[in-house]
Amino acid sequence: MRTWAFLLGGLVIWAVHFFTLYIMASVFLTPPLARTLTMLITLACLGAIAFLAFKARRIEIETATDSWVRAVALLGMGVGGVAIVWQALPALLV
Partner 1 sequence: MTSGSIFAVFDPAGPYAGSITTLAWVLIAMFVAVLAVVIAALWIALRGSGRLKARLGGTRAIWIGGIGFPVVVLTALLVYGLTLTRHLTAPMPQDAMRVRITGEMWWWRVAYLDPSGRPFMLDANELHIPAGRPVLLELESNDVIHSFWVPRLSGKLDMVPGRRNTLPIQADGPGVFAGQCAEYCGGPHALMGFVVIAHEPAAFDRMMAARRAPRPVPDERGRQLFRSTGCAACHRIAGTEANGMAGPDLTHVGSRRSLGAGILPNNRGTLAGWIGDSQAIKPGNRMPPYKTLSAADLQALAAYLEARK
Partner 2 sequence: MKSETGFDPALYARFPTPGERPEGELEELERIWCAPRGWQLLTAVNNNYIGFFYVAAAFLFFLLAGILALVMRVQLALPLQGVLPQDTYNQFFTMHGTVMMFLFAVPMVEAIGVLLLPQMLAARDLPFPRLSAYAFWAYFVGGLCFFTSLFFGLAPDGGWFMYPPYTSITYSPGINADFWLLGIGFIEISAIAGAIEIVVGVLRTRAPGMTLDKMPIYAWAMLVFGVMIIIAFPSVILGTLLLELERAFNWPFFDPTRGGDALLWQHLFWFFGHPEVYIIFLPASGLVSMMVATMTRTPLVGHYLIVLAFLATGFISFGVWAHHMFTTGMPNLSIGFFSAASMAVSVPAGIQVFSWIATFAVGKPRYNVPTLFLLGGIVTFVIGGLTGVMVAMVPFDWQAHDSYFIVAHLHHVLIGGMVFPMFAAFYYWTPMTSSRALSEQLGKWAFWLMFTGMQVTFWPMHLVGLMGMPRRVYTYLPGREWEVINMISTVGAFTLAAGVLAFLIDVARNFRFTTDSDAGNVYGGGTLEWLPTGLYSTRSIPVVKSREPLWDDPKLAEDVEAGRYFLPGSATGLRETIITSPLRAEPQYLQIMPGPSAWPFLGAVFTAGFFILLTVQAYIPSFACGILAVICVLRWLWDTDRLVKEPDVDVGAGIRLPTYVTGPDSHGWWAMMILLIVVGMIFVMGVFSFFYLYGVQPRFWVAPADLWSLAMVLPAYGAASGLAWLARYMLAREATELWTPGVLFLCGAIALATGIGADLWSWIASGLRPDASGQGATVYALLGLEAMLAAIGLLMAGYISARNSRGMIVRPHNNSLDLCVLWVIYTAGQGALTAVLTRAVGG
Residues at the interface with partner 1 (CB under 8 A):
82, 86, 89-90, 93-94
Length of the chain counted residue by residue: 94
CB 81 within 8 A of CB 46: yes
Determine the Cα–Cα distance for residues 3 and 71; give it in Å rounded to an integer: 12
What Rg value do the Cα atoms of the chain yield, rounded? Answer: 15
> Within 13 Å and on the Cβ side, how many CA atoms surround 11?
9
Determine the Cα–Cα distance for residues 16 and 78; give it in Å rounded to an integer: 16
- Out of 41, 48, 49, 91, the only residue in the binding site for partner 2 (CB under 8 A) is 91
34 binds, among partner 2, partner 1, none (CB under 5 to 8 A by kind): partner 2
CB of 71 to partner 1, least distance (A): 10
- Out of 5, 15, 33, 50, the only residue in the binding site for partner 2 (CB under 8 A) is 15
Assess 9 for contact with partner 2 (CB under 8 A). Answer: no
19-78 binders of partner 2 (CB under 8 A): 19, 21-22, 25-27, 29, 31, 34, 62-66, 68-69, 71-72, 75-76
